[in-house]
Amino acid sequence: MRQISNRFGNQMVHQNLNLDVYRGEIIGLVGGSGAGKSVLLRTAIGLNKPDTGEIILNASPIGVLFQHGALFSSMTVAENVALPLIEHTRLSRAQALHLAQIKLALVGLNQQAGEQYPAELSGGMVKRAALARALIREPDIVFLDEPTAGLDPLNAAAFDRLIKTLSKALGLTVVLVTHDLDTLYAICDRIAVLADKRIVAVDTVAKVVANPDSWIQSYFHGPRGRAAAHAARKEV
């Protein structure tokens, strides 16, 4: 991203923002409420055209996991996962559904889960199904919007491990928007901090935590930040 600016009416959300994402990394995007994290994600995937600047995306296709899964309630889980193949390839419906079951197995869901409807799944299973859909077209890069939001700590930790495992096994580049400090410490190679309409820091977790910026200090050194750092040290 080069010199990205986004404006809505009189509100400037991003101004001259720059960010590089490296192939094969997991990078976490953090920022305060209303900082424009989701807007930046939508801009990156082409759903929002920036007012100024350019985006060079050297990957095709891309995968997206939306907040809360965004599965279609009238379709089975397998049909949801197969939909991008049905819409964008020449595969038959049967072939697409077969590949959907393979991707569901990859994220830890069995055939029975694929035959159910989203309303019949737990929150963690919905997230896994949405991740399977994001992976169905073998993308080079996936964008995840608050992937652990709404999950209990155990399911959130399991989902973090799944993302890290798939990233390493498939060579995936992962860009995730999150406020989950445990996720940042557990799986992110780098963190990009969005504040004051731009990226104010982007580096490894250890280096970002040491940044003197006032928002970074309050975010990473508050009670939750200290607890997440302590948990990460215990894991090591």
> Percentage of residues in the chain with pLDDT exceeding 70?
97
Question: Three-class SS string for the chain?
Answer: CEEEEEEECCEEEEEEECCCCCCCCEEEEEECCCCCHHHHHHHHCCCCCCCEEECCCCCCCEEEECCCCCCCCCCCHHHHHHHHHHHHCCCCHHHHHHHHHHHHHHCCCCHHHHHCCHHHCCHHHHHHHHHHHHHCCCCCEEEEECCCCCCCHHHHHHHHHHHHHHHHHHCCEEEEECCCHHHHHHHCCEEEEEECCEEEEEECHHHHHCCCCHHHHHHHCCHHHHHHHHHHHHHC
pLDDT for 235 equals: 67
Q: From CA 16, how far away is CA 129, in angstroms rounded?
A: 36
Amino acid at 33: S
Architecture of domain 2-60+140-235: 3-Layer(aba) Sandwich (3.40)
pLDDT for 61 equals: 84
Tell me the per-residue pLDDT of 58-84, one tens digit each, with 9 for 90 and over. 877 899 998 888 999 999 999 999 999
Over residues 181-185, mean pLDDT: 93
Query: Of 46, 51, 55, 66, nearest to 13 (Cα)?
Result: 51
Tell me the per-residue pLDDT of 188-232, one tens digit each, with 9 for 90 and over. 999 999 999 999 999 999 999 999 998 899 888 877 777 777 677
Tell me the per-residue pLDDT of 76-132, one tens digit each, with 9 for 90 and over. 999 999 999 999 999 999 999 999 999 999 999 999 999 999 999 999 999 999 999
pLDDT for 231 equals: 73
Whether residue 8 has pLDDT greater than 80: yes
Q: From CA 230, how far away is CA 192, in angstroms rounded?
A: 21
Tell me the per-residue pLDDT of 11-63, one tens digit each, with 9 for 90 and over. 999 999 999 999 999 999 999 888 899 899 999 999 999 999 999 988 778 99
pLDDT band at 182 (very low <50, low <70, confident <90, very high): very high
pTM (2 decimals)? 0.91
In this structure, what token pair is assigned to residue 227? 């607890």
